[in-house]
């Protein structure tokens, strides 16, 4: 595979056109990368994943609940969620933008 350089912020217009809250933009055999965007107060409807997941917060406020613990969100936060663990973003008054990484 050849190298790829992706400007994540340029992908937001595609998300707007698709009216989508998430976009997978990079897919290898053992790694998927995408963007999750939640508007203020929008409900996070994701279910637990079969793969480990990492989030990198680009923007936003609010909280992420992982299992039964809640953590405050802030820019540049790195979050690891093990496979099959229930988690969700909530309580945001600003748009949440995160890059997510799935690995199997």
Q: Which domains does the chain have, with CATH numbers?
A: 28-103 (2.60.120.10)
Checking if the pLDDT of 1 tops 70, the result is no
Burial 7-27 (b: 16+ CB within 10 A, else e): eeeebeeebeeeeebebebee
pLDDT value at residue 59: 94
Q: What is the largest CA-CA distance in the chain?
A: 41
pLDDT value at residue 85: 97
Alpha helices in the chain (DSSP H): 12-18
C-alpha span between 22 and 38 (Å, rounded): 9
| pTM of the model as a whole | 0.86
How much of the chain is helix, strand and coil, in % rounded to 5? 10, 45, 45
Share of the chain above pLDDT 70, in %: 99
**Interval 5-49: pLDDT, tens:** 888 888 888 888 888 888 888 888 888 999 999 999 899 999 999
Kind plus residue range of the DSSP H or E element containing 86: none
Mean pLDDT of 57-86: 96
């Amino acid at each position: 595979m050849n190298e790829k350089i992706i400007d994540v912020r340029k992908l937001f217009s595609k998300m707007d056109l698709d009216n989508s809250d998430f976009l997978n933009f990079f897919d290898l055999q053992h790694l998927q990368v995408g963007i999750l965007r939640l508007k203020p107060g929008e409900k996070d409807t994701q279910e637990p994943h079969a793969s480990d997941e990492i989030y990198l917060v680009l923007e936003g406020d609010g909280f992420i609940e992982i299992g039964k613990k809640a953590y405050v969100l802030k820019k540049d936060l790195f979050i690891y969620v093990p496979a099959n663990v229930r988690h969700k973003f909530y309580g945001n008054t600003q748009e949440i933008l995160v890059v997510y990484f799935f690995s199997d």
